[in-house]
Amino acid sequence: MTKAVVKIGGKQFIVAEKETLLVDLLQEGTKELTLDALLLIDGDNITIGTPTVKDVIVTAKVIEDLVKGDKIQVIRYKAKKRVHKLNGHRQKYSKIEIVSIK
């Protein structure tokens, strides 16, 4: 099984074919991705990029465009001052499936 380390949106992911993963929200209307920022590929032999691996392209398709992550609560608090602030945040993701590594 061929695995690769790709860079998507400033983050690095270890991917394999037929694998699904959550990445930061992509531009609306994106259906197909071609990832050429490969940092490492592990097939028959390991190839390390300097800075990227040449002549290898990973293709992916977008399954779901808007997936919400878990809710995170952020609390700001100052002791003995009666000051507190509670905020919530849900990160938005895109769900993609790796189609092929060529």
**What is the per-residue pLDDT across 51-82, written as a single tens digit (0 to 9) for each?**
899 888 999 999 999 999 999 999 999 999 99
Check residue 44 and give its pLDDT.
83
Please tell me the predicted confidence (pLDDT) of residue 55.
87
Distance CA 14, CA 5 (A): 5
**Rounded mean pLDDT, 11-39:** 93
Q: How many domains does the chain have?
A: 1
Domain membership of residue 67 as a residue range: 3-101
- Cα distance between residue 25 and residue 23, in whole Å: 6
Nearest-angstrom CA–CA distance, 57 and 23: 18
